[in-house]
Structure 1
Amino acid sequence: MKSFLIIVVFLIHSMIVYTQGYINNREQYEKERKQIMDDEEALQAGADFNLTSKEAEVNRIFMGFKDKELTRGLRHEDQHTAALHFFKAKSMIEKGDVFLFLKMMPKGALLHVHDTAAVSSKWVIKNLTYMPGMLRCRTSANLNIFTFRKMRNKHGCSSSYYKVSEERDYAWYSSKYDQDLEKSINLRVAYPEMVYPNLKDVWNKFRNMFSTIGDAFSYLPAFRRYVWQMLTELYFDNVMYAEIRSSLKKLYDEKGKVYPKEFTAREYIDINNKFVKKYPDFLGVKIIFCGHRNDINRIRHSVKEFKQLHKDFPNFIIGYDIVGQEDKGLTLYSVLNVLDELPKTARLFFHGGETNWLGSIMDTNLLDAILLKTKRIGHGYALAKHPILMEMVKKNSIGLEVSPISNQVLNLVWDMRNHPAAIYLAEDIPMSITNDDPGFWDAEGLSYDFYYAIMSMAPNNAGLSLLKALVWHSIDYSILTSEEKEKGLNILSRRWDKFLTEVLNRWGKKPKK
């Protein structure tokens, strides 16, 4: 319908006769000008969402907040949070009413997050590294490894193993020691343009952080605490459901016993069920199982693992993906024979287009993801350069999992106003807002990414209609069953109305005494 509307609008406006020189009919000019603006706005995401009178009043409040922050940025560029790098803008974002509004807002489903990087780095340091038995060692590349077991061959450590608790006791200031530890699992720096001047530098640090935290994450007592915290951070940021990328690491216990991935899946399910029982308006999580694109044998092995796990847990381990840096890894096209071994019941959720390249083997992942009938595309950053593929995504309702801060922190875009998602929103391309690896850049939950979506990528006049569309579409593009979606939408509607009431009570017009 929207494609048809574009054609009609073009034909109408192509018949407009413009005169050279002065404007002969100012009234006609103004009419045509307004018509074009209205038609363009009608194509945008959220245009189909009509606001109730209650929502209209809340939108008025929100637009007041938004206009205030955008005006401040217009007058003072060093305070223009919508244009600044997240590391420079974070503290200012948190002080504004827009962010507080977004924190309060129900956000529906989170459809793209990696479990080992999902939890606040501060929580990891203050909790996991204080657990009895935490060890630290260093590799020859000076990389910290956190673990609860001594396995030099596995960890690649060239140093001895040190008890973190003893190091902390010997330190002059335990807070300074913790800050230094946290730098091992957080990309945040004061001047990212100097510390990470190119993709290679930031991706090297990014990959290393997974190595730093990975073995500690696999320790059964730590895993249980971590996954509970992951769900807690999502729930209290008003996310009601998540589909999590995970390789389901083999877990080990205090005695060093290693458990198979089937055990990890059962642990996930058990934690999830307990959390949902405690918070019944949270729909829980499901797993998208992942292979890694740096080695075809690893991909082949992950496909084999997925087949068995999907067979054992078909309603929990719902799909398959291949993760890792696209610019350095194997393409989907190069592993087609391996992917052909996936069961027909598997749903695919491929990363694609997380690159700045055009016309290279890297951005062909978008093409092959579509041809392989992926349900969603992770990132899709490069899609805007491929008009035919963009039309295919729209025609087939393939949801884009857009992770604004991830794309910025990993050096694809600096000024978020230049993010291609602005085009996707303008043309109502299916998309949801996701957070990817928030724990690795000092974020928590999904509100920060929503901030950039509405403040940087959306038009200045976009408000609650667009926000509501992104929230509701996140449920549409999820792999919840029809019964689960119905339940989720009922919960979302109730929470949305409660949110509207809270906004009006807090910021609405007060009756005169």
Structure 2
Amino acid sequence: MNLLFIISILFCLFFSNIILLPLPFNQYAYMLAREQIRQHDRGVQAQNNLNSKEKVVNLYLELLQAKEYINTKNYFYPSRPIETELENIIKSSFYQFLTLLPKGGNLHIHEFQVLDRKLLLESIKNSPEYDLLYICDQNDCIKNKYHLRYYKDNVPSGWTKVKDSNWTISDIIKKTTLTGILNELKTPIYSTDTEGRWNVANQYGVFNFYDDLIRYNVTRFNYMKLVLDQALDENIQLLEFRRGFFGKLFYFDANGLRIPINESEELDLLLKFKQDYILKNPKFIDFIFLIYSTRQLSKEQIKIDINNLINLQRTYPDFIRGYDMVGEEDQGHTILFHSDSLMNAFNYSKTSNESFDLFFHAGETNWPENHLPSNYGDGVSTFENIYDALVLRTRRIGHGLSLAKRPDMYEYIRERQIAIEVCLASNQILGYVADLRSHPGIVYHRSGIPIVLASDDPGSFGYNQLTIDFYLATMAWGLNLADLKQFAWNSIQYSSLLDDRKTEGFRKWENQWNLFIDSSYTLACNQTFPNVIMNISDILPSYGPYDRSINVTLFGSGFEIAICKSIICKFGEKETNGIFLDINEIICPTPSIHNDLSTVPISIVINNETFQSGLNYKFVSSLSVIDD
């Protein structure tokens, strides 16, 4: 036989991911083959990386998740438009539990689109700024009706003082958040009409709502404190804000005139604010900025933006960490169109001592790769933004939905450890993925591509921070605690923090994680189940060798009563220690030596209470296994 052929066969056997399975010609071989696949799958899901306490908390999470499935199976929230189900999700006990989970960082958020608008408006209502707050409620006073601004005097026509009007905070939210607007439309927009949903958002000024309010220096820092406080309330410790350029901040002088604050002054104020906040809230890790331009801009303007950014980043290398291009990807210029200027940014990144990188929105589209949806006539499809983002060595990919169509690229992305920023709620409300059970993020995750869960524009959409996305992912994808822990870990590992800050970030997150595990472990172990009846419905295999131990799986329901309790498996009168696999499966190892060939009843004992299965296990003399 050809030597090269033999070597290639050996290479495949030793280095491929192929699972060699026995042929299932009998039940014993079937069980072995099935268990090999499951062990491989658990390895992919990282379940084996949980410690003993975490495994108990994972069972508790699984139990809460199962209850949520039962409660919502007829109107499963991740498969329905989020604008109709948002309130139901937030009220659920499973959502409330997930708020407690330390999530690490939120790495894909637009700074002025983060906060639940109700919180900001209530804050303004209880401040002196409420006397300055006006709403445009006429069609001709500004481009976007239902916009808010501050005025001290010289109020233009069409603007109404909110304090003296019939406007309530609830009314304003309905007119200015995408969930509120979609629910008020007389003619609904189809759940996959991406262009229609973007058009409504732009028509109503959804993404510009905060602009003027947050440019006022008093509201600016009140807003930032609310954002950070709310992040900590949802156990988020790191925020990477995408935002436009600095230098638009102002304050009112004694005559009511707006006096501008330049970009250096603004950044210095923000740095001081951050230092003070972390001093008062030591579990918070950091907030940093990725500066963006909108992709609709001309080549000349992008060139100017990048040159300005480079000059600013040299002065604030720990605070300004990267660059992106944003806006509706299908209706803006491609990365290739701006490649000359972006190469300048890339070249700078290689001389910045790892203080600056590129982070591109890319693949936020559901169009085929040969379709050219943009009106800008760039000559390449939106899909190809993925190519150019990779060429420019993007550190992370924002959204990356179209990557699902090119699994041949997964290995390249895995090898280079490029994380995908997955924003489920955003992708659904903007019409890219109607049913989140089909979202490609789970495929990326199971394929070994690092992903981080992020929230994009939650305030503009009508909710707050990141727990919504964790809820949707956990329910739609059937995630476990190991998955959620991995996402949180990824959010620090693939953040743009410098190495020393990253080490400190991991320490702070691990402290919070351990506290969460301890408290959740106590919750799990203190449960009572007065109305739950354990039922063992089947075992696999039902026979096995008498002269060595194998694992027998017990299937059934009501196993949650065994959480935090010892499990004894009985094969007749012989006992072994059981293993709680999940709320529907318990593993019972057979006795290592059984003296005779016999059939015995199987039962389990939990805290001295015996549960009969009504099923038998047979010890046999020999079993054959044939490899495929």
Structure-2 separation of matches of 1:414 and 1:320: 30
CA RMSD after TM alignment: 2.7
Tell me which residue corresponds to 1:282: 284
Tell me which residue corresponds to 2:340: 337
Which of 210, 235, 241 aligns to 2:207? It is 210
* CA-CA distance at 1:6 after TM superposition: 11
* CA-CA distance at 1:322 after TM superposition: 0.6
1:387–1:325 distance in 2 versus 1, CA, 3 Å: same
Task: Please list, as runs of the form range in 1=range in 2, the aligned pairs for 1:79-90 lying within 5 A after superposition.
Answer: 80-90=76-86
Q: Does 1:475 align with 2:477?
A: no
Counterpart of 1:355 in structure 2: which amino acid? T
1:307–1:150 distance in 2 versus 1, CA, 3 Å: farther
Counterpart of 1:205 in structure 2: which amino acid? V
Tell me which residue corresponds to 2:275: 273
For structure 2, the 5+ residue unaligned runs are: 1-11, 371-380, 529-606, 608-628
Which of 176, 188, 191 aligns to 1:195? It is 188
Structure-2 separation of matches of 1:502 and 1:320: 40
Alignment TM-score, normalising by the size of structure 1: 0.87
* CA-CA distance at 1:149 after TM superposition: 4.5
1:509–1:164 distance in 2 versus 1, CA, 3 Å: closer
1:382–1:159 distance in 2 versus 1, CA, 3 Å: farther
Structure-1 separation of matches of 2:394 and 2:500: 23
Which of 10, 15, 20 aligns to 1:12? It is 20
Structure-2 separation of matches of 1:192 and 1:144: 14
Tell me which residue corresponds to 1:464: 481
Work out which structure has the larger RCO, using CA pairs closer than 8 Å and 6 or more positions apart in sequence: 1
Q: Does 1:355 align with 2:372?
A: no
Deviations 1:277-313 (A, max 9, x none): 1101101200001111011244223212211210110
Structure-1 separation of matches of 2:15 and 2:91: 44
Q: Does 1:454 align with 2:474?
A: yes
* CA-CA distance at 1:53 after TM superposition: 1.3
Counterpart of 2:341 in structure 1: which amino acid? V
For structure 1, the 5+ residue unaligned runs are: 18-22
Of Structure 1 and Structure 2, the greater strand share is in: 2
Of Structure 1 and Structure 2, the greater helix share is in: 1
Which is greater in Rg?
2
Counterpart of 2:30 in structure 1: which amino acid? Y
Deviations 1:54-92 (A, max 9, x none): 111111111111112123334xx12x2343332233333
Give the share of equivalent positions with the same residue, in percent. 27
Counterpart of 1:182 in structure 2: which amino acid? I
Q: Is the 8 A contact 1:227 1:271 kept in 2?
A: no
Deviations 1:164-211 (A, max 9, x none): 222x2xx2xx5xx32222223311147599533222221123232223
Q: Is the 8 A contact 1:139 1:158 kept in 2?
A: no
Tell me which residue corresponds to 1:146: 148
Deviations 1:1-51 (A, max 9, x none): xxx9997343635xx76xxxxx8534333432343343234333x34x511
Q: Does 1:32 align with 2:26?
A: no
Alignment TM-score, normalising by the size of structure 2: 0.72
Tell me which residue corresponds to 1:20: none
Q: Does 1:365 align with 2:385?
A: yes
* CA-CA distance at 1:150 after TM superposition: 8.9
Q: Is the 8 A contact 1:251 1:258 kept in 2?
A: yes
Deviations 1:459-495 (A, max 9, x none): x3x4111111111111110122222122122222221
Structure-2 separation of matches of 1:269 and 1:392: 37
Tell me which residue corresponds to 1:251: 249
Deviations 1:390-411 (A, max 9, x none): 2221110001111110000111
Deviations 1:109-144 (A, max 9, x none): 111100110111111222336623122235546522
Counterpart of 2:290 in structure 1: which amino acid? I
Report which stretch shifted further, 293-302 or 26-35: 26-35
Structure-1 separation of matches of 2:175 and 2:84: 20
Counterpart of 2:199 in structure 1: which amino acid? N
Counterpart of 1:95 in structure 2: which amino acid? K
Tell me which residue corresponds to 2:408: 388
Structure-2 separation of matches of 1:196 and 1:272: 41
| SS at structure 1 position matched to 2:413 | helix
Structure-2 separation of matches of 1:315 and 1:491: 19
1:5–1:57 distance in 2 versus 1, CA, 3 Å: farther
Tell me which residue corresponds to 1:300: 303
Tell me which residue corresponds to 1:178: 169
Tell me which residue corresponds to 1:234: 231
